[in-house]
Amino acid sequence: MRPVQLKDGVYWVGVVDWNRRNFHGYSKSPMGTTYNNFLILDDKVTLVDTVAEEFWGTLQCNVAQVLGADRKIDYFVINHLEPDHAGCLALAIEKYRPEKIYTSPMGQKAMMAHFHYKDWPVEVVPTGSSISLGKRTLKFIEARMLHWPDSMLTYCPEDRILYCNDAFGQNWATSERWADEVDRHTLEELMKAYYANIVLPYSPVVLKILAALAEMKLEIDMICPDHGLMLRGDDVPWAIAKYIEYAEQKPKNRAVIVYDTMWHSTEKMAGAVASGLADAGVSVRIMSMKANHHSEVMAEVFDAAAVIFGSPTHNNGILPLMADMLTYMKGLRPQNKIGSAIGSFGWSGECTKILTQWIEDMGMELVAPVKVKNVPDHEALAQCYEQGKAIAEAIKAKLN
């Protein structure tokens, strides 16, 4: 895609990655993604972030279309050192020879760890620091653990633009650059999925940083994340409100049943639990680990009040896909959840004990599990149905 002018003298010079399907090695992104970065034309020409190394040629082309043959890049601002944003940093420094490279205190450490540089003109800009580009000023705000220790936000008061790196991002490859040019529902679902799979463990940090930004009384016309679509106008307060909502993790009247099954017995149990939940007025989603990627499950679990985990006993344990899901979910540290377990077994029967231990380790409120030997009969399925109703009662108590 060609460069896009955001404001007078400010350009998007990023890349659309139409074919990205696996994001950071753990999150599925079937819609592709973008690597957004920005070029500011002023007395000091400034590049904000770079792109993944494989797109170095595209970045050079976009910069050349904006700058022409005569102007050079004076400053780099590096908000985050993760390779999808700084992958071609060394190549860019070698080509453009900037006078200064601005990054956070932790960014300097990460830059050294990633690139082992010797003579780069790096200048550390902790929170409260600012630089002049000429007509414009850039102000820096450290955002440690949103979602890496080096993360930083850059704000331009003259343009009223917040360059926010991974915050407010979505994985979505489009020809459009602005959120107001696409379907709002799809945008919201993708922003929520990005938050649930990447930002969720750092929700306390999100609330702290958003509160700090509010205290600064920044006037923000545009939010420019490094993934997905940029936000302007009414989408700015909408996105901030959504991030507060996400970070507070207030559950909704929803339940997710996530399971794996060997000979369909646990699957049948899941259906009976879902019936009990639905008949009690709870919206429920059943998700097989054979059919769903763990990041898709996490996007559904994110705002659900309850999660029911199902697996048969397998080699005195649980099925590998369920172990993968539980490991992934525990690392994301979801809060304010009710948990329960279901499973069938042939002889040793450890499944629900293991699942219950995971539920307790994640700090979820426990509803008693149901375990069935071999194939569930009508009586066993009735027990699962009642379990669903019990979970629904626990949800209503939590929401009231």
Catalytic residues: 24, 80, 82, 84, 147, 166, 194, 227
Which residue in 57, 44, 54, 49 sits closest to 12, CA to CA?
49
Please answer whether residues 95 and 61 qualify as being in contact, where contact means their C-beta atoms are separated by less than 8 angstroms.
Answer: no
* Beta-carbon contacts of residue 343 (< 8 Å; ≥ 6 apart): 266, 269, 310, 311, 312, 313, 318, 351, 352, 355, 369, 371, 372
Q: How far is CA 178 from CA 24, 160, 222, 237, in A?
A: 24, 16, 10, 15
User: What is the DSSP track for 70-103?
Assistant: T----EEEES--SHHHHTTHHHHHHHH--SEEEE
Strands 365-366 and 370-373, by their bridges, are unpaired
Q: How many helices (H) and strands (E) does the chain have?
A: 12, 25
Tokens representing 220 are 């923000």
Cα gap 65→61, rounded to integer Å: 6
What angle (nearest 5°) sits at the alpha carbon of residue 172, between those of residues 254 and 333?
40
Tokens representing 318 are 């649980």
Tokens representing 282 are 């709870």
CA atoms within 13 A on the CB side of 282: 34
